[in-house]
Amino acid sequence: MITTRALKIGITCYPSVGGSGILAAALGEELAARGHEVHFISYERPFRMPANLPRLHFHPVVINAYELFKYPDYTLPLSVKMAEVARDAGLDVLHVHYAVPHATAAILARSMLPEGEQPRVVTTLHGTDTTLLGRDAGYGPAIRHALMSSDAVTAVSGWLRDETHRLLNVDRPIDVIHNFFEAKTPRRSREDVRRELGLRDEQAMIVHLSNMRPVKRIDLLLDTVARVRPREGFKLVILAGGDFAPFTEHVKRLGIGDRVRVRENVFEVEDYLQAADLGLFTSESESFCLSLLEAMSFACPSVATAVGGIPEVITSSEHGLLVPAGDADGLARGVERLLQDPAYRFQLGRAAQLRAREKFSAEAIVPRYEALYRRVCG
């Protein structure tokens, strides 16, 4: 009988709220559940990383401020910690999420170790490391070097893979491994959540989840909601992974304060998603849109802009409604269509949920990462 050896995997990601950190934490949890030994290396514990799970470890990176440096440096202490954990734990793979500074640090860490102790470096691109930093002359060459020096590179969508080849002139293979989402059981009932939000029985709940960064176009989200009729037929619930304060004046100007509810830094998104009737996503660019997938997993159909990798998540009008970027009127019409036709909304939601389970579950995606690790390890 042939047995497959469990792997020792180091994972580095941004621990703050955002798709890359959420995906990395979920991947580490799934890998540990499959028998692998997983070591997270970052300046803070990823906010969705479970505590006290077998085979799941966290190693904090200490960042010291020296008068010699105008700005605190993270790349060097991160690389030293990576090398230390790789040596002490005997890591097979360093899987880094985002090229800068994580892949750069991993490659430096690898070079610190003797040849027989060097882990393989897998770099996963999530979006802005290509689409924003890749255009910057101060970062682009370093990102390209990190990608060319990695043992394998993955992107969360075909669109992001193609943009990476185009913007960074990277002439190496990039594996497309989409994001995944495994919903946890909600802790509260749908009725309890709706009561907390002040939703009447006849009102629909529109949900939006994001980190509030400019690319998410929160201004367009609010402008869209202001156009939706009837006004009293819904409330917009924003699960903000960042500060919503800059948008409060916009809410007042539009006169929609009675229709908008904001909850910041919510960890148990499942509680709110199971109470939602539809999602609304207005980004001007998205490499994948994990929030959209989270909504789909709860049979919550969405209206979204047809940008970046989103059409790889919603591939047809059977799974959701796509609208050109920046089209507030089109987005509002899509929302009204779902609000006015509950049967159609239910049909769309069930199809979206089925697609999420078939194409973007841990069962579908995690084995692809395992196969990639084993491939680079030879």
* Torsion over CA: 362, 368, 369, 373 (sign): positive
**CA–CA dist 25, 356 (Å, integer):** 19
Which three-class secondary structure state does DSSP give residue 281? Answer: strand
Structural domain boundaries in the chain: 8-180+362-377, 190-359
Q: Beta-carbon neighbour count of residue 68 at 10 Å?
A: 5
CA 31 to chain centre: 18
DSSP 71: S
Question: Which amino acid appears at position 80 of this protein?
Answer: V
pLDDT tens per residue across all 378 residues of the chain? 345 889 999 999 998 757 888 999 999 999 999 999 999 999 999 877 888 899 999 999 998 877 777 777 899 999 999 999 999 999 999 999 988 899 999 999 999 999 999 999 999 999 877 766 656 667 788 889 999 999 999 999 999 999 999 988 899 999 999 999 999 999 999 999 999 999 999 999 999 999 999 999 999 999 999 999 999 999 999 999 999 999 999 999 999 999 999 999 887 899 999 999 999 999 999 999 999 999 999 999 999 999 999 999 999 889 999 999 999 999 999 999 999 999 999 999 999 999 999 999 999 999 999 999 999 998
**CA–CA dist 262, 186 (Å, integer):** 19
pLDDT score of 137: 64
pLDDT score of 134: 53
**CATH number, domain 8-180+362-377:** 3.40.50.2000
Q: Beta-carbon neighbour count of residue 173 at 10 Å?
A: 10
| Strand 302-305 versus strand 321-323 pairing type | parallel
DSSP 170: -
On whether the CB atoms of residues 151 and 123 are closer than 8 A, the answer is: no
Query: E-assigned strands of 192-275?
Result: 204-210, 234-240, 260-264
Look up the CATH superfamily of 190-359: Glycogen Phosphorylase B; (3.40.50.2000)
Two domains, one topology: 8-180+362-377 and 190-359: yes
Q: Tokens 């402008």, residue? A: 223
Q: Beta-carbon neighbour count of residue 153 at 10 Å?
A: 23
**CA–CA dist 326, 337 (Å, integer):** 19
pLDDT score of 47: 79
pLDDT score of 169: 87
* 317 Cβ neighbours under 8 A, 6+ residues apart: none
CA distances from 199 to 171, 192, 194, 258, 275 (A): 52, 10, 5, 11, 10
With CA atoms as reference, report the closest residue to 235 among 325, 348, 335.
335
Tokens for 22?
A: 């959420």
On whether the CB atoms of residues 250 and 237 are closer than 8 A, the answer is: no
HSE toward the beta carbon, residue 368, CA cutoff 13 A: 19
